[in-house]
Structure 1
């Protein structure tokens, strides 16, 4: 893309017109995943993460898109990932449940603008998955049967 065609994101925390949510900042490249802009969708409600006691294929701490697709394609019952995956906004249907590192990046960038407990797509064990507490910035493993908020994200590559 030439500089004339380069799209500039809005200020962090502002709605990004036509992109399905608010601009949550830039996710730096990590472990072979290129950097990208994060767009945070609206809160979808409270959902369970998935079956307590079952190992899932969602083990990445950095790639929520890969985790969400792995959960959906596994055929298991993963309500939080399913809700995020089905979300559509502004004509975009590529939302997913963010990974633990993506949630932390969102907290760093939007500190004070979000509240409550929100699920990540990152499994901790057969019984637990990571949740993010947006008030204090803590990430904890929560029982997969608990109902926490779901905030889907999508990537904008430039």
Structure 2
């Protein structure tokens, strides 16, 4: 029997930031597409290229919606995106990556500092955004380079 992932969370049942929630660590509350959500950092670490260099993926350009970006990436053949979705998670967008960095700076989550992490926000046909969790540096790099990705989950707050 497969364990079903939690789909929503009640506002009154949210733990403190940095505490366990829905198979990961509760990072923060945030607003996305008009709905308040809970961002959760999953324990898994993925590695691989973002996608194919020189190929623009329609639907993967959102600065804020990592789940939509990741679904578009997976449909275009990205293996790290497919792996993230199999975990019932997604690769964070630029906004969601910055929220992870804020939680790390507050001592609430651990993120590797020795390698750059992919974000799901595409910059161009050749590049996508990445983050250095050592100092919070946001940049972009060639999609065909292998980097880490740290999946997250986002639940609507009711």
TM-score, scaled relative to structure 2: 0.81
For the residue of structure 1 that corresponds to 2:98, the secondary structure is: helix
Which residue is 2:26 aligned to?
23
For 1:62 and 1:137, how far apart are their aligned partners in 2?
Answer: 17
Determine if the alignment matches structure 1 residue 138 to structure 2 residue 137.
yes
For 1:148 and 1:14, how far apart are their aligned partners in 2?
Answer: 27
For 1:124 and 1:67, how far apart are their aligned partners in 2?
Answer: 12
Choose which of 88, 112, 115 in structure 1 pairs with 2:112: 115
Number of matched residues? 142
Gaps of 5+ in 1: 88-92
Contact 1:133 1:139 in 2 (8 A): yes
Contact 1:99 1:122 in 2 (8 A): yes
Deviation at 1:10, TM superposition (A): 2.2
Which residue is 1:69 aligned to?
71
Q: Aligned-residue CA RMSD in angstroms? A: 1.7
Deviation at 1:28, TM superposition (A): 2.9
**Deviation string, structure 1 residues 73-100 (Cα, Å, up to 9, x no partner):** 3xx221221121111xxxxx3x111111
Which residue is 1:36 aligned to?
37
TM-score, scaled relative to structure 1: 0.81
For the residue of structure 2 that corresponds to 1:35, the secondary structure is: strand
Structure 1: 4+ residue segments shifted above 4 A: none
Which residue is 1:78 aligned to?
78
For the residue of structure 1 that corresponds to 2:35, the secondary structure is: coil
Contact 1:48 1:80 in 2 (8 A): yes
Determine if the alignment matches structure 1 residue 99 to structure 2 residue 98.
no
Determine if the alignment matches structure 1 residue 50 to structure 2 residue 51.
yes
Gaps of 5+ in 2: 1-9
